[in-house]
Amino acid sequence: MTTPALPVAAGTDRMLLIETFVRIVEAGSLSAAAAQMGGTQPTVSRRLQLLERTMGVRLLKRSTHAIRLTEDGQRCYERGKELLATFQSFESEVRGAGDEPAGMLRVVAPHVFGQDQFIEPLAKYLKRYPNMRVEWLLHDRMPDLIAENVDCAIRVGAVTDPSVIAVKLGEVPRIVVASPDLLAGGPVPQDPPELARLPWLALRTFYRTEVTLTHCGSGDRQSFDIQPRLSTDGLHALRNSAIQGLGVALGSAWAMQDDLAAGRLVHLAPQWRADALPVFLVYAPSRFQPARLRRFIEIMREHLPMELAGH
């Protein structure tokens, strides 16, 4: 049953009401939408009720376990997404080149990537925007973006937090390597059963007691258990331990390439790969994204390190 449409109260942001509704639908619940928007569930609920009263229709059917769109809600959701995209494009065009970033950008990056792969795009950002300063923090943990006042974080691996926005930058190919000393002059292992018989090292962030590999040609997947002689959360420590002959390592191909070329490491089972690790740029949702962050995201995507672009 529809209700008479009401005029929106003075000072009410219509776009905010629409954005809130779209966020509720995409997040799956009022509480998840509130977390994404940095608000509270009662606030989100009030906005939804006001939008329904304004439109004169019921948009959602709510139960204790789930929310479902009404027929009117489905139409409102589709049009709402279009309106938000149009408004964001409008904002971008109006601000244009005059939207020059200035101030401080705080970024958290993983230790290895933050010291190597992403320094070049960071330098391009600072050169292009001379009024910007950057606090470049190296942590392998995911920060609390709001509590730690961090503008964005670069993360390797899956992002499971539904309250953040994750922009995929690329992927990190991974290969199996070992020191020639570990092979003791024997043949280079070519398949997973041969690898399973060797001593192993573990990169705890991504694998601990099991390794899964996929054949590059056939797509065949095989898994096997390992009992690592050494476990670490540092990629450089993993690589150096492999060079010392302590065990087989599974790591980022770009991090091993110089040692492979110099003969310090050997590529084992070259027709097999572990799943590539996604790399994301993560930031907290906000209706108005500051210029300093928008421009940083643009440059990170524009000057993607070759190793992440799959070249």
Residue linked to tokens 């942001």: 13
Burial 82-93 (b: 16+ CB within 10 A, else e): ebbeeeeeeeee
The tens-digit pLDDT sequence of the chain (311 residues) is 444 444 444 445 888 899 899 888 888 888 888 887 778 889 999 999 999 999 999 999 876 667 889 999 999 988 988 887 777 666 655 655 456 788 899 999 998 888 988 999 999 999 999 999 999 999 888 888 877 888 999 999 988 888 888 999 889 999 999 999 999 989 999 999 999 999 999 999 999 999 999 999 999 999 999 999 999 999 999 999 999 999 999 999 988 999 999 999 999 999 999 999 999 999 988 756 788 898 999 999 888 777 676 54
Look up the pTM and report it. 0.65
Q: What is the reported pLDDT for 3?
A: 47
Q: What is the reported pLDDT for 84?
A: 79
